[in-house]
Amino acid sequence: MIRAHFGLAKDPFSSEKLALLPQQRDVLDTLRVHCQQGGLCVIVGEPGTGKSVIKRALCEHDPKRVMTPVVNRTLHTYHSTLRILCEAFQLETDGADFRCEKRLIEEARRLNSAGKMLAPIIDDAHLMDVSALRRIRLLFEDFPKNHCLVLLAQPELLSRLTLTVNEDIKNRVTYSVLMQKLAPDSVECFIRAELDKVALSHSTFTDDALSLIVRSSEGILRRARNLCLGALLEAVRDRSKTVDLQQVNRVLLQPHWRQQADPD
Band the pLDDT of 78: cuts 50, 70, 90. confident
Mean pLDDT on 128-136: 89
Q: Are strands 66-67 and 117-118 parallel, antiparallel or unpaired?
A: parallel
> What's the N-to-C CA distance of the chain in angstroms?
35
User: Which is higher by pLDDT, 17 or 4?
Assistant: 4
Model confidence at 264, in pLDDT bands (50, 70, 90)?
very low
CATH number for the segment(s) 182-257 = 1.10.8.60
Measured in residues, the chain has a length of: 264
Sheet containing 39-45: order of strands: 70-71, 121-122, 148-153, 39-45, 175-179
User: In CATH terms, is domain 22-179 a member of 3.40.50.300?
Assistant: yes
pLDDT at 16: 74
Residue spans of the domains in the chain: they are 22-179, 182-257
pLDDT score, position 102: 93
**Model's pTM, two decimal places?**
0.84
For residues 220 and 46, the answer to whether their CB atoms sit within 8 Å is yes
Question: Percent of the chain scored above 90 by pLDDT?
Answer: 45
Residues 182-222 pLDDT 10s = 999 999 999 999 999 999 999 999 999 999 999 999 999 99
How many angstroms separate the most distant Cα atoms in the chain?
61
Question: What span, in angstroms and rounded, lies between the C-alpha atoms of 184 and 223?
Answer: 13
Q: pLDDT: is 195 or 75 the higher one? A: 195
Distance of CA 115 to the CA centre of its chain: 26
Q: What is the pLDDT at residue 260?
A: 64
Contact 38, 148 (CB under 8 A): yes
